[in-house]
Structure 1
Amino acid sequence: MNLFTDFESRIKNVLETLDIVREKRSEIDFSRVSVESPRDPSHGDVATNAAMVLAKPLGTNPRALAEEIVVKLREDPEVTEVTVAGPGFINVRLSIAYWQKLLAAMIEAGVDYGRSSVGKGRKVNVEYVSANPTGPMHVGHCRGAVVGDTLANLLSYAGYDVTKEYYINDAGAQVDVLARSAFLRYREALGEKIGEIPSGLYPGDYLVPVGKALAAEFGTSLRLMPEDKWLPLVKDRTIDAMMEIIRGDLAALNVHHEVFFSERTLHDNGAGPIRTAINDLTFKGHVYKGTLPPPKGQLPEDWEDREQTLFRSTEVGDDIDRPLIKSDGSYTYFAADVAYFKEKFDRGFNEMIYVLGADHGGYVKRLEAVARAVSGGTAKLTVLLCQLVKLYREGEPVKMSKRSGDFVTLRDVVDEVGRDSVRFMMIYRKNSEPLDFDFAKVTEQSKDNPVFYVQYAHARCSSVFRQAADAFPDLDLQKVDFAAAIAGNIVDPNEIQLVAKIAEYPRVVEAAALSQEPHRVAFYLYDLASAFHAHWNKGKEAPELRFVNDKNRELSIARLGLVRAVASVLKSGLSITGTDAPEEMR
């Protein structure tokens, strides 16, 4: 039972009874009518804009229409007060009986309270992390990994058919550099003194085990081969080893992709998939031969002052046309991006989300242009950019990791503060805003540490049930009638406020999914935890408000139902964020 959709339905039913609406029913768009929580709780429990958005098409005054709606709403037995504010907003206050009925529905739904069908089963591909397989994951990848994974969880909970995907950038010059770096470690494993790692190669110690594995598999045979023979062998083994490290790093963060797509497959069969994608664009009139003017500022690697095969991307929303095939006949990096999008589109995805680092801001328009051209405007592509994460320890910048050579690894962070702290804090700010991550603050046990505060609320809920078991040893919560107990006992205004806060969850889930803003779930969980802790503290001051009263079994059962509803929503929301809902915290 969703408070807001329930009252949207009631408002629309009221509108259908008005003569002024019936006369122009075919002209009325009810989709603009919404029901929300008032900004000021003193105004009521829910508010609607119905009169404001429908007055003009109905040819009447918003205030006059609001007064007509109010008259009808006052006939609803579960409405205790209706008022008109300003030019025509309608504020509604609900009966205690309604809140009791809603609480009973929350308890019955359990962790599925808030689950939505707003996605209508639409297929969505969420591609995130997609780091070059040239070493361990670093903290710069961490935020994108968490944002992408949480968004995918959220969309799935909201009724979308979601695929989590990782694009392996295993083609191009950087992979050759990786293979040469591993080959150097291979020579080292054979006993050769390699000295300082040459500039341009990867210096991290993580390649030492790769070199030893190559020595164990091939002995000295690779040393006897020319580079064009050993390079592909070393490349395959090293990429496999790097991806094993990356999968392990992601697993430590509770990130698990369903699809790992290799860029090299786009280059198979003479780059057949890339050629097919370009042919498709050519057939649709999006490709031509021409030259590009030099861009302002630093020249990109793929710019040439010669005739090339170009994507007419300016006609589909981009700033400049993009090269697909260089003058020497080789394909550009962008050509692989085109082929990859087409491959996903051909798999049946009409909605695709790319979670990228802030340094990829220049890719947004070109990717959107590809989506329009390849799909003929039928596919929706969204790029979410994650701003930088700065690491601190008690206000001081964190030094770099020795293992990686030149960066802080994701595993370093997870091992020090724990998976849950990392995940929750990475979404406790909108992805488009910079994030400061302080190791000391995310491990302190206080209200200022959001992940602790939310998880502690769930642990407190569990402690209430342990108290109840001590007070009523024969009570089987699987068999009690919560609805009957609630009807006569959940009446205190503080309890009703807590029910109202829980009732916001379905709307938060839908709004977060539709706006693709997973941080909204984390913010809501903190607010719910705060409301629960506040009510807990009132019980310390006023014993009659405590959740368990060994002198009143029926009242205790009703309040246990309230606690169960809080715990279920906390567990559901924490699951979306990819973090645990502990039953005890010490």
Structure 2
Amino acid sequence: MNFYTAFRDRIVRELAALQDAGTLPGDLDLANVKVEPPRESAHGDLATNAAMVLAKPAGMKPRDIAEPLAERLRALDEITGCEVAGPGFVNMRLANAYWAELLGQLLQAGKAWGASDLGQGTKVNVEYVSANPTGPLTVGHARGAVVGDALAGLLAKAGYDVCKEYYVNDAGGQVDTLARSAYLRYLEALGEEIGEIPEGLYPGAYLKDVGQALAARDGAKWQGLNESDWLPEVRAFAIDQLMATVRDDLAAMGVEHDVFTSERELTQASAVEEVLGYLEARGLIYTGVLEPPKGKKPEDWEERPQTLFKATEFGDDVDRPIRKHDGSWTYFAADMANHLAKYRRGYANMINVWGADHGGYVKRMQAAVKALTDGEGHLHVALCQLVKLLRAGEPVKMSKRSGNFVTLREVVDEVGKDVVRFIMLTRKNDAQLEFDLEKVVEQSKDNPVFYVQYAHARCHSVLRHAESEWPDIALDGMSLSQAQLSRLTDSEEIGLIKYLAGWPRTVEGAAEAYEPHRLAFYLHDLAAAFHGLWTKGKDDTTLRFLQPDDPELTRARLALVRAVQQTIASGLEIMGVDPLEELR
């Protein structure tokens, strides 16, 4: 339950009562009335803009609306204070009894706390990772994998029907280069001397495994044949081998996709020709000559008629080629076919998580989606900036096995998938991220993943001690919701409940903005509030969670501890991080 939404509904009812009384005009549109936290906590618990947004359509001054609204709100049992501030904002303070009741609702909701019907079952396709199947996933891919997977989990929590997709770029020149590179390693596995890897081929030692696997399966079957004879078979084998590695590496990080879509299968099924025909029928394809790209000297630019898509009619900067001069399709053409296929599967809402180097590709793809769906489809692109991998502040050397990059699997194997997933969400996706292999495993308050996990483990420690002191006590959320929660009166206890109450709003806001990093920020602040209350109890024994001489107060405080544990676990689950009950 988003209690801000609940209070908005209550305020709308009070506004309707003012309309019935003739204080306000009866035809006002109340859709823009909001209830939010005030800018400063000293101003109260809630604030509404109702008077500000209704003043002009009502033909009244804001304060002339705010004052009668505040008078009605002061009569509500759950409101202990209501003031009109500034030009007409209404600030409200809520009674401790309300917070106690809300804590009980939180505990009864269990894992469902924070779940929302915001999405109302709307289908959303989230495409992420989608790395070319030409080598292992890198630490750079890890960020896109985490952002995409957490975003998918977040949208599901907010009530969307989510499909997680990986688009396999298994067509075009790069996979032919892969086949030639793998074939060299195949010959090497058969005992031939291959010397230095020729320029233009993939030099990574990871292809030795592919060559050896091919030799083990087929022996010398392909040795000595013309390229045209072995290239299709070697290409398919290499792609399958590397995609198996990709799936395995993603699984090690807790990432599983629902759908793997093959670019090659799309092109073989004439999906691109279908796109061309669809656009031609709408007059959106023509043959023309593009202007030279920025930074190109005229003598370096070869004017050549091309098959172009009228992308500028849908918000792009220039029209885009969909066929190369040799008659083959551009990557853009295949991507258009992929997105049309998504739309036809029922996904009018599409989200792509790409690396920052794809920034120049965003407008053209959004233009294509608009054109192919007659404006009914929407594409949002989340660009992930680079990850700077460090060790004790120094750049990490490249992997010998991969050749020129550090693999995702190497990082996961060293620090664990939970650390990777959490740290990748400690910055917004479009901000650069430093990942220090030593700092991310430090057990200190400066390490956010440890700080949050420690709060969760500390909650379990308190509950275990309670169980050992009172073996018959029921510590599940439903049972603790029946405790005398009104006994929680300390300002930091109430403050912690207030922060817990903000979890559903955080989920909805993060889902609407497509920003899963907000969950990490929230959990860090929640952990800080809990650690602060625990520390306060060290100095003042009357504030400790366990009060041997007052079992009912103990139950109430254990209810608060369980609520914190439950909410942290809920957030970590969305992020794909396993909440720990003990830290060693």
Q: 1:22 to 1:257 in 2, by over 3 A?
A: farther
Alignment of 1:210 with 2:242, yes or no, is: no
- Structure 2 contact 321–330 (Cα < 8 Å) conserved: yes
What is the DSSP-based 3-state SS (H/G/I as helix, E as strand, rest coil) of the residue aligned with 1:30? coil
What is the CA-CA distance between 1:197 and the residue it aligns to?
Answer: 1.4
Counterpart position of 2:123:
123
Aligned amino acid, residue 8 of structure 1 = R
Partner of 1:73: 73
**1:465 and 1:308, CA in 2 relative to 1: closer, same or farther beyond 3 A?**
same
Q: CA deviation at 1:148?
A: 0.6
Change (3 A) 1:480 1:296: closer
Aligned partner of 2:378 among 372, 377, 380: 380
User: Equivalent residues in 2 for 1:182-221 (5 A)?
Assistant: 182-221=182-221
**Contact persistence 1:24–1:58 (CA under 8 A):** yes
Residue correspondence of structure 1 range 102-121 to structure 2 within 5 A: 102-121=102-121
1: CA distance between counterparts of 2:100 and 2:385?
43
Instruction: Tell me which residue corresponds to 1:147.
Output: 147
* Match in the other structure for 1:475: 473
SS at match of 1:261: strand
> What CA deviation, in whole Å up to 9, does each residue of 1:252-271 have, x standing for no partner?
111111111111012214xx
Residue 570 of structure 1 is aligned with which of 561, 568, 571? 568
Matched, 1:38 2:30: no
C-alpha distance in structure 2 between counterparts of 1:366 and 1:129, whole Å: 20
* Runs of 5+ unmatched residues, structure 1: none
Q: What is the aligned residue count?
A: 582
1:284 paired residue among 271, 277, 282 = 282
- Summarize the alignment of residues 529-544 of structure 1 with structure 2, pairs less than 5 Å apart: 529-544=527-542
The answer on whether the counterparts of 2:108 and 2:478 sit within 8 Å (CA) in structure 1 is no
Aligned residue number for residue 510 of structure 1? 508
Q: Percent identity?
A: 57
Equivalent in the alignment of 2:518: 520
CA contact under 8 A between 2:20 and 2:26: conserved in structure 1?
A: no
For residues 245-394 of structure 1, the aligned pairs below 5 Å read 245-269=245-269, 272-298=270-296, 305-394=303-392
Task: Tell me the SS of whatever aligns to 1:42.
Answer: helix
For residues 279-299 of structure 1, the C-alpha deviation after alignment (integer angstroms, 9 at most, x for no partner) is: 111112211222222222249
Deviation of residue 20 (structure 1)? Answer: 8.1
Q: Equivalent residue for 1:101?
A: 101
Structure 2 CA distance for aligned equivalents of residues 471 and 161 of structure 1: 45
What is aligned with 2:440?
A: 442
Aligned residue in 2 for 1:57? 57
The 3 A distance-change label for structure 1 pair 50 and 479 is: closer
Which stretch has the larger CA shift, 219-228 or 501-510?
219-228
Q: 3-state DSSP class of the match of 1:502?
A: helix
In structure 1, C-alpha distance between the alignment counterparts of 2:240 and 2:21, rounded to whole Å: 65
Distance 1:16-1:325 versus aligned 2 partners, 3 A rule = same
- Aligned AA for 1:245? T
**What's the offset of the Cα at 1:327?**
4.3
Q: Sort the Cα spacing of 1:243 and 1:22 in 2 relative to 1 into closer, same or farther, 3 A.
A: farther
Equivalent residue, structure 2, for 1:238: 238
Q: 1:428: which partner in 2?
A: 426
Question: 1:537-573 CA distances to partner (integer Å, 9 max, x unpaired)?
Answer: 0110111111111221111111111111111110000
Secondary structure of 1:93's aligned partner: strand
Contact 2:285 2:308 in 1 (8 A): yes
**2:167 aligned partner:** 167
Q: Which amino acid aligns with 1:362?
A: G
- The Cα shift of 1:21 comes to 8.6
What RMSD over aligned residues (CA atoms) do the two structures have, in Å?
Answer: 1.7
Separation in structure 1 between the aligned mates of residue 73 and residue 124 of structure 2, nearest angstrom: 40
- Contact map agreement 2:107 2:478 (CA 8 A) in 1: no
1 CA distance for matches of 2:226 and 2:427? 52
Displacement after TM superposition at 1:326 (Å): 3.4
State the secondary structure of the residue aligned to 2:195.
coil
Distance, in Å, in 1 between the alignment partners of 2:141 and 2:21 is 54
Look up the match of 1:397: 395
Using the size of structure 2 for normalisation, the TM-score is 0.97
Post-superposition CA distance 1:339-385 (Å, at most 9, x none):
11111111111100011010001011101100110011111110111
For normalisation by structure 1, the TM-score amounts to 0.97
CA distance in 1, matches of 2:517, 2:306: 44
Give the secondary-structure state (helix, strand or coil) at the position aligned to 1:485. coil
Q: Work out the CA distance in 1 between the residues paired with 2:318 and 2:119.
A: 34
